[in-house]
Amino acid sequence: MASSRAYIPSASILRALSRPRPIPCPFSQRLSLQTVRGAARRKKPKKPQDIIPKDENIYADQLGKTISAIEFYEQDLDEGTAPKLVKRISTREQAMDEEKKWRMALEDATNPDYDDTELRKQILDDMLADPTYDEIKDYMIYLRAKLEGRENETAYGQELQKITKTEDEIEAEQMWSRVAVALHESAQKYIDNPEYASARKELEDFQAKLVNLEKGNVGFEESIERLNAKLQQIPAAQKQLEEVKKELPPEWLSDEWLDKLSESEEAEEDLDEADPIDQFKIDMLLMQMQEIMAAMGNKEMVKEIQTVLDDKPSLDPEDNADEFEEKQGFDVNELKARVASLKQSTPDMKPDPKADAVVESMLADPYILDKLAAIKHHIVKQKAYEPPSAPDPETLDKSRLTTYKQRLRMVENDPEHLEALEQLRVDLPPPFNAHPALKSLNQALKLAYLGASDDVRRILWRSYMRAREVPTLLQNIPDDAWDILWYSQAVNWASNQNRDAHLKLLMADLRTVDKEGPPTPPDALPV
């Protein structure tokens, strides 16, 4: 039984409690946890990640057992869209890769000397797999190839070449892709056809050789020859070929094309000896594919392949007469028609036999086109404005010899000029704001603002042509920059020979951003 006697503290305890306590600092905080005896002697980890076991991953061990997969979703709460799957981890290897990525990110955050190349490559790979970033996919491929280029310059060059293809290369690849798909579908159609059972092996071999057709496939020509020989032994294929021949021009499937191709190849040998691509072999291959497509009854592909063959320019002057006349801007038949219409439009005028004879003799002149072209060239040259030559620097006063660097210093000290330069600057959202072509374009715009000359005009145009391939550039060019681009290329200088082509391209770019010409129209310019 507990004692009912009241507890009376001893005198020593009362003395200890009655001592005055030190005044506490008002800015200090009390410790929420009691200190542990011997904590100072415990070994502390040098890096935070050492706390985690190196080769252990609780999620990796549970995947496929208690956890089927780990999925990451995104949802736009403002728009109220449904959750979208952006990532899925379903294997132990994927979980270990995620842990490795997390360790690298932690090391990158704590170690300023850490090489983050591998981490950035993995982040770019994740972004490439995410459909959210499809709009900047090309630029991410460029960055990924650039990172890879630190280890392998060849890989960087190949990836860079993939995203800097010309329009002709892209169009050629698309054409080869369409041809390959059509050939594959046609071959599969005849594999399933019992009438072509004897050619099944050749058709399957032909299908297998269609991979990477645009890059050239080893053994593809041989497979075409074997398939063509086999189709000639099948009555159904020959019957279908005859039906196609009746509907298509006969010269498309004749041997005349072989003679034309061989003649053009001999004539081009001296002009293009260094070309590694044998154009004659490519044309022969296209003709063989055209024959197979005709035997399979695919008329659309026969016409498309013929279009590709027709694109090759002929070396016969008579065949190129229309093109020559178009370049010169004159047509003899058109001139005759105009003369006849003028005679009919003025019936009151008395016919002059001498004038008619002179006109007929002029039109009968075989060199009339050359003469008219020379006259046109002379008129254009006379109308073209040739800027005055620059004066000799040695004869000028030193105050007039102002370089672009000195002009730039003067402009940077003037708030009005600084504001004008800021309105010329093209700013893009990240990551495109770090593109070197954008920096070059902004420097060229600054040069064009400092002074107009033919050299500056050319520099500005080259910079614009390099930068216009950067995504979102055209949408972010300010109006002042459009004006400088337009009017710098619109000058009638004799050295500006590509004036019309440049303005045509600029007009097309302006229309893509809903502008029908330069923001400042010519009639609004000060005289």
| Structure confidence by residue, pLDDT tens digits, 297-355 | 666 667 766 666 665 444 333 344 344 344 444 555 666 666 666 666 555 556 666 66
* DSSP structural state of residue 135: G
The first and second tokens of residue 255, run together, are: 């041997």
CA–CA distance, 375 with 369 (Å, rounded to integer): 10
pLDDT at 359 over 60: yes
* 517, part of any domain: yes
Write out the H or E segment, with its range, that includes residue 87: strand 84-89
Average pLDDT of span 73-96: 79
Which pLDDT does position 389 carry in this prediction? 58
Over the stretch 149-196, which tens digit does the pLDDT of each residue have?
A: 655 544 444 554 555 555 556 666 666 677 777 777 777 777 877 787
Banded pLDDT at 249 (limits 50, 70, 90): low
* 305 in the same domain as 213: yes
What phi, psi does 226 have (nearest 5°)? -65, -40
Q: Which domain holds residue 511?
A: 400-524
* 347, part of any domain: no
Domain-terminating residue out of 163, 184, 217? 163
Most confident of 211-215, 271-275, 286-290, 419-423: 419-423
Which pLDDT does position 379 carry in this prediction? 61
* 496 in the same domain as 414: yes
Most confident of 117-131, 185-199, 465-479: 465-479
pLDDT at 459 over 70: yes
pLDDT at 262 over 60: no
CA angle 69–73–74, rounded 5-degree value:
170
CA–CA distance, 450 with 122 (Å, rounded to integer): 44
Over the stretch 211-228, which tens digit does the pLDDT of each residue have?
A: 666 555 667 777 777 877
In 3D space, the residue among 427, 418, 408 whose CA is nearest the CA of residue 478 turns out to be 427
* 158 in the same domain as 171: no
C-beta atoms surrounding 445 within 10 Å = 24
* 419, part of any domain: yes
Domain-terminating residue out of 276, 310, 344? 310
In 3D space, the residue among 253, 237, 261 whose CA is nearest the CA of residue 303 turns out to be 253
- Percent of residues, the chain, with pLDDT higher than 90: 1
In 3D space, the residue among 482, 499, 501 whose CA is nearest the CA of residue 491 turns out to be 499
* 243 in the same domain as 176: yes
Q: Lowest-confidence range among 35-44, 110-119, 310-319, 396-405?
A: 310-319
> Residue with structure tokens 């005709």?
294
Report how many domains make up the chain: 3
* 135 in the same domain as 197: no
Which pLDDT does position 156 carry in this prediction? 43
| Comparison of pLDDT for 42 and 119, the residue scoring more | 119
Which pLDDT does position 448 carry in this prediction? 85
Chain centre to alpha carbon of residue 318: 39
* 249 in the same domain as 156: no
In a 13 Å sphere around the CA of 169, the CA atoms on its Cβ side amount to: 7
* 135 in the same domain as 191: no
* 181 in the same domain as 229: yes
Q: What mean pLDDT, rounded, does the chain reach?
A: 70
Domain-terminating residue out of 108, 133, 163? 163
In 3D space, the residue among 177, 178, 229 whose CA is nearest the CA of residue 203 turns out to be 229
Which pLDDT does position 431 carry in this prediction? 78
* 278 in the same domain as 155: no
Banded pLDDT at 464 (limits 50, 70, 90): very high
Banded pLDDT at 9 (limits 50, 70, 90): confident
Most confident of 282-296, 305-319, 408-422: 408-422
Banded pLDDT at 519 (limits 50, 70, 90): confident
* 100 in the same domain as 204: no
* 155 in the same domain as 179: no
- Percent of residues, the chain, with pLDDT higher than 70: 53
DSSP for 104-117? HHHHHHH-TT---H
